[in-house]
Amino acid sequence: MPRFIDFKGAAILFSAFAGAVFCIWAESSGNFLFVLVSHIAYFIETMFHELGHCITGWLLGMPGVPMIFTVVGPQGAGGMTLVFGHYWMVQAAALAALAYLCYEFYRRASGWFWAALLLLIIITGVMLSGYRLLVVSYMGHGGTIIASGYLLFKAWLNVDVSSQSKRWLCAFVGFYMAMQNMYFSYNLIHDEATKELYASSELVNDFIVMTDYVGGWTVEGIARFNMLLGGAVIIGSFLASLHVFKSGRDYV
């Protein structure tokens, strides 16, 4: 009977986890080579972050363009997503595309049908609520964490990877993006220097924007949610992959 994670797989996953921890630690190590490696990993995370804003914006009828300004800076890679306002034609096209995706997954009896249907329901609910920009603002961090869960799911289950090096890469990027968000959120809650830097940054920082939309929300409260979500996604991706493995079904 095949094992969920054999010794070789465990070694790959653990080394990817260790590499992610190293990159997060290296940010403040002071060693140029270590900091350079850390910035490369953070650049990848920033790309996913801006894509999270952009894709969510398009789904909510708010087309945008992601941009990355710097690779190295006082806060790592810097970027932003330009959003051009809400257009009902874009919104209708996005809902139609999601509905068609649900139909295709249902027709193929795919396990992804329920995820697609949930996404359609959430997008419709956010559209009707009027909190479109609030959700777009969070989904830089949120989208990165969700993407990390998908990559970890593939790495745990060892699917859609043609080599062990690709499995390691999926695990490394997944662990790094989830834990980097958790580490950032922890510092934003407990480290005064991080709080001051975040509040005084020339960039439009997501959590600060979110507090302007909902009364009573604080940067620290949003950071706590973000940290919990990162941990939940790491654990949830493992449990989901274990369930698929035990069921013997093809996850696609």
pTM of the model: 0.86
On the CB side of 170, how many CA atoms lie within 13 Å of its CA?
Answer: 21
pLDDT at 224 exceeding the cut of 80: yes
Q: Does the pLDDT value for residue 213 go beyond 90? A: no
73 — pLDDT class (breaks 50, 70, 90): very low
**pLDDT (average), residues 162-187:** 91
Q: How confident is the model at residue 182 (pLDDT cuts 50, 70, 90)?
A: very high
Most confident of 57-66, 162-171, 233-242: 233-242
